[in-house]
Structure 1
């Protein structure tokens, strides 16, 4: 027990002595990590098959099925409709012009018409492209480019274009997830700031506990994404959990330390000695609490 207290006491003295260097190192490491490591969204998996080992029976069967289907290309369905009236020759010409534009886009392997509906009010085409089947990266760029071309073909009044299929749905799902994550992060930060303002009754004090948690959050995503290359499986829900968990737990641990520092200062210790004493007394509790959270996940 005394050895542990001496360990954390030494850690506290180290933190106080090299406080500026520690801050600089954390900032530099975070910037380098964010700029060089992959993003968490690029490795997150939203399909059940993504979590299966390659030697599982179902995955082995899927590999045997590959030669019988074009599984390397992502597909999307392009639809043109008038919403009640039969397609005119001008409508058909506009759709053909759109298909020509789509064929000219990067990564598009084919774009062929599948014919007109029985009532003559809609026509569809199949678009296949050499992009990730579940969106992201080049897939998102392609979907955005196709939808941008909707307004460039001079479609007659009443004619509407729509893009659906696995690629378009995956892209829209990714966009919705990103918006949800941003909203969750914003609401979490605002909620924490309000609580900290009530706790400290000061404007700048909340930053002392919130900024380190924000720094860790920025670095945690790329680090987890890099860990996926050694076999760590990442779910799409990880991004949402990470925001709430890191900001919540990180701020909580910061409060433990800050309030203990304030208590030691009120007891007469100098600020630097109060930091050392606080790390010595609550450092072990914070460490094991964090390890329990890590182990639970």
Structure 2
């Protein structure tokens, strides 16, 4: 593999104008395609095969008016008045008349005749049923809904929205997190390289990759449903991986130039050696993300494939565009900045790093880890296990209005409904008969459901010759475990309910759908974990041609992800971070554990490859197991530290948003990367390898005959080129 990568890097160097032109053309075409398509993301979660999805499908065929999106409009009277007073009521009636004329609106309930006024008379709840699914409700229609309630607002009535679709429901991506992350990444790169050109190059290539990825996802959103979180995850990984992959190759190239190597050969060799580790690392991330498809959840499959595409583009840019830009830059990447306070400092640090001096911080740290191996290993594992303890209390759920910030209209609507009607009115259930029944039977069904434990109210909602629907309001909120118990209880006692109405019934609605999604995701976790662990074993066995290294890596990965789960539960579910992050404690997002398993696995494999490949290379040359651990860790510490800090910073930057889902994702990724890089890969892994010694590289005799050697370190390439390796180069 290293030989092919060497040829690719040298070709990109020689044809740099062509390569640059191709990538710029790809970016322009992606922007044009995204603009022309008009694609937009949405947060409608569906899972084929669940009862709630069967309910939705049935309604689409038999009663389309109730199968579309739904908006709850909450009208709250001014202080000291009631919503039934003549002034507020006239304003609400005028607003309702205008809402009925909004495009795509199918039905509008009248709160004054449909029991939609709260017992205290202060709030009216209006249900707006759309004739289209949430993703198909046009922004123009939502804008018209906002305009329609103007009479109520002019009369001093507070108007808020919630439901499956409402004005402002689509997440508008903010450029602030990306900007903050890029600024921090540039500062870290400037410290690492000490040169402006070298620091800016990975940033430029990462930005181009994100533009191509984001525009591609936007174009696809015009033909398939893509969750807004998919865009965020793709941007996170596109930026972080793009910068990191460029960093690894550029670090190798810059050090080779400082050692006197000719520019073209240095670029080719950097791609052939460090690029091999980058390819392997990227493939592990891509395969893990694509592995999310095995759980059979459409929106999660799309999320994984979108993120995998962003990583693949980052990889292609690192292997082609970066060598081309290095050709344009020449020796300018070794022009160091100099300050009056510390003149020549950055150049001295770079040359010391290139010469692999034992005085570097990485060398001192590796000596400490190897010397205190048992203490370091025990302390690191104990810390990770302690952080993982809160994960035992993890509760899964999908975001509801209760998790939104108080400035959000959905949160304000949720609070008004909970305070004046009861929390269950935020997430009513739908009990649907699978064929038509007489009106008296529907009334009997509603009366029977109203007597069930945990039900606040039940009433017929709609009927036709093919279907009858009863609206059931729980006593508890949509994300309360008691509501899930109610849904499961109704389904478990389905026979008794069907005996009352004389027809088969289904339990559905948005709340039931969210419960089904969370259950399906929880059931998929063990399957996906088995896939990820099996994949890790195969890939790392192939990379290092030994059995013990993959086992050690898998244990480290499990410790990292468990600790990240624990930190997330403590901060976001228990509420330890409510004041720090400005969030409301709520359940762990159902899909977060799955994407964390995929991404932390991929990134942990990155750092495992970058650290252990240096240790293996040294051991092959010296046959000194403990010394190889010490020297290999020292050689990889600086670049792995920079790479991990860049990823950590980019993930943390995404916490500077108002959306609690994005905050939870950013926090979880940041903690996972930080712990895996610094506690596991640069601390526990070297300590364990020092304890085990040469036995860590054991493999059966038949192993070498049947397991191919991908040569990710590029040792054979260096032998072909006559380049010394082992202890004198600065490979990643």
Equivalence for 1:19:
16
Choose the corresponding residue for 2:236, options 238, 241, 244.
Answer: 244
My pick for the range that moved more, 104-113 or 12-21, is 104-113
Distance 1:105 1:229 in 2: 23
Q: Is residue 2:185 matched to residue 1:192?
A: yes
- How far has the Cα of 1:21 moved from its partner? 1.7
Choose the corresponding residue for 1:64, options 45, 58, 64.
Answer: 58
Counterparts of residues 142-161 of structure 1 (less than 5 Å):
142-151=141-150, 155-156=154-155, 158-161=156-159
Equivalence for 1:165:
163
Equivalence for 2:268:
276
**Structure 2 residues without counterparts, runs of 5 or longer:** 290-732
Equivalence for 1:132:
133
Q: Is residue 2:207 matched to residue 1:214?
A: yes
Structure 1 residues 108 and 210 mapped into 2: Cα distance closer, same or farther (>3 Å)? same
Q: Is residue 2:78 matched to residue 1:82?
A: yes
| Total equivalences in the alignment | 279
- How far has the Cα of 1:188 moved from its partner? 2.4
Q: Is residue 2:174 matched to residue 1:174?
A: no
1:33–1:223 Cα contact (<8 Å) kept: yes
2:65 partner SS: coil
My pick for the range that moved more, 141-150 or 207-216, is 141-150
- How far has the Cα of 1:64 moved from its partner? 3.5
1:268 partner SS: coil
My pick for the range that moved more, 121-130 or 21-30, is 121-130
- How far has the Cα of 1:129 moved from its partner? 2.3
- How far has the Cα of 1:57 moved from its partner? 5.7
1:126 partner SS: strand
2:13 partner SS: helix
2:260 partner SS: coil
- How far has the Cα of 1:83 moved from its partner? 3.4
Choose the corresponding residue for 1:257, options 237, 242, 249.
Answer: 249
1:82 partner SS: coil
1:108–1:128 Cα contact (<8 Å) kept: yes
Structure 1 residues 235 and 91 mapped into 2: Cα distance closer, same or farther (>3 Å)? closer
Which deviations, in whole Å up to 9, do the C-alpha atoms of 1:184-236 show, x marking residues without a partner? 433322321221121122344322101111211222234456778999x9655
- How far has the Cα of 1:68 moved from its partner? 5.2
1:294 partner SS: helix
My pick for the range that moved more, 122-131 or 61-70, is 61-70
My pick for the range that moved more, 101-110 or 62-71, is 62-71
Q: Is residue 2:288 matched to residue 1:296?
A: yes
Structure 1 residues 104 and 220 mapped into 2: Cα distance closer, same or farther (>3 Å)? same
Equivalence for 1:121:
122
Equivalence for 2:3:
6
Q: Is residue 2:68 matched to residue 1:73?
A: yes
Cα RMSD, aligned residues only: 3.3
Structure 1 residues 154 and 279 mapped into 2: Cα distance closer, same or farther (>3 Å)? closer
Output the TM-score relative to the length of structure 2. Answer: 0.34
- How far has the Cα of 1:149 moved from its partner? 4.3
Which deviations, in whole Å up to 9, do the C-alpha atoms of 1:55-102 show, x marking residues without a partner? x36344543354257343322222322333134433222222222332
Distance 2:139 2:44 in 1: 16
Which deviations, in whole Å up to 9, do the C-alpha atoms of 1:90-131 show, x marking residues without a partner? 322222222233233322233342214455434343322234
Distance 2:130 2:214 in 1: 29
Distance 1:183 1:155 in 2: 34
1:40–1:221 Cα contact (<8 Å) kept: no
Which deviations, in whole Å up to 9, do the C-alpha atoms of 1:7-52 show, x marking residues without a partner? 222212210122122122112212222332568852x6552xx2x3
Distance 1:275 1:223 in 2: 30
1:260–1:278 Cα contact (<8 Å) kept: yes
**Structure 1 residues without counterparts, runs of 5 or longer:** none
1:73 partner SS: coil
Larger RCO (CA under 8 A, 6+ residues apart): 1
1:215 partner SS: helix
My pick for the range that moved more, 22-31 or 218-227, is 218-227
Structure 1 residues 131 and 182 mapped into 2: Cα distance closer, same or farther (>3 Å)? farther
> Larger radius of gyration, structure 1 or 2?
2
Output the TM-score relative to the length of structure 1. Answer: 0.77
- How far has the Cα of 1:294 moved from its partner? 0.8
- How far has the Cα of 1:254 moved from its partner? 0.6
Distance 1:285 1:276 in 2: 14
Distance 1:291 1:94 in 2: 60
Structure 1 residues 235 and 94 mapped into 2: Cα distance closer, same or farther (>3 Å)? closer
Which deviations, in whole Å up to 9, do the C-alpha atoms of 1:122-174 show, x marking residues without a partner? 434332223432xx564444334323444466723x43223333322xx6553
